[in-house]
A and B are shown apart, each in its own frame.
Chain A
Amino acid sequence: EVQLAESGGGLVQPGGSLRLSCAASGFMFSSYWMHWVRQAPGKGLEWVSRINTDGSSSTYADSVKGRFTISRDNAKNTLYVQMNGLRAEDTAVYYCARTIPPYYFMDVWGKGTTVTVSS
């Protein structure tokens, strides 16, 4: 079964750091671009970042640029996002999703992991 499973969420103080992981199974992870998408409580979906198949190219939303770093380990079938300088407005459920260019539709999503930034 094709699956994505996020982990690593939790409560962190403003200014703190957190690394989220997304474990992929049931498909050839190294063949897919991947996204992180987040959803603040009661709000809509916000794209966070995207990475290509070998990790050589990544893009970020302006809201996280310079603070978040996406990466992947194809040998471990795992996607990551390192989040530094966390702010209250980063509080959200974070989803990973697989995607294929050129339409970058997200056809498989994880269940999400919750990040809460609060003192």
Chain B
Amino acid sequence: DIQMAQSPSSLSASVGDRVTITCRASQSISNHLNWYQQKPGKAPKLLIYAAATLQSGVPSRFSVSGSGTEFTLTISSLQPEDFATYYCQESDSVLFGQGTKLEIK
């Protein structure tokens, strides 16, 4: 079975910082990876699908890279509304990463 490992589990940063979140698969998943943002008490929101495609309306400060087994989500200049929990999701097994909680420093 595929395992997904997301890191770090939590991250403290300041407005304007650049942050990177990593998602690793235990075997190659090609580009079958999606990313979500979730704020407290809210449903998740799709950010990126197929490893590289930004969902409509997602700001360009969000970027992604990777394929195969290692994927990264980068936020280039954190804005106050970006503080949330981020999840990666492998498509075929529909497996979510453990989540990365991004907090204000």
Q: Answer yes or no: B83 CB below 8 A from chain A CBs.
A: no
A105's partner among B38, B50, B85, B95 (CB-CB below 8 A) is B50
B91's partner among A45, A102, A112 (CB-CB below 8 A) is A102
Q: B99 — which chain A residues lie within 8 A by C-beta? A: 44-45
- Cross-chain contact B46 with A50 (CB below 8 angstroms): no
- Cross-chain contact A107 with B46 (CB below 8 angstroms): yes
Bound: A109/B55 CA distance, A: 14
Q: Answer yes or no: B13 CB below 8 A from chain A CBs.
A: no
Bound: A112/B42 CA distance, A: 8
Name the residue among A50, A104, A105 with the largest chain B CB count within 10 angstroms. A105
A1 to chain B, nearest CB (A): 14
Count residues of B near A (Cβ-Cβ below 8 Å). 23
- Cross-chain contact B55 with A107 (CB below 8 angstroms): yes
A107 to chain B, nearest CB (A): 5
A-B contact pairs, 28 of them (CB 8 A): A37-B44, A44-B85, A44-B96, A45-B36, A45-B38, A45-B87, A45-B99, A46-B96, A47-B89, A47-B96, A50-B94, A102-B91, A103-B32, A103-B34, A103-B91, A104-B34, A104-B91, A105-B46, A105-B50, A105-B89, A106-B44, A106-B89, A107-B49, A107-B55, A109-B43, A110-B43, A111-B42, A111-B43
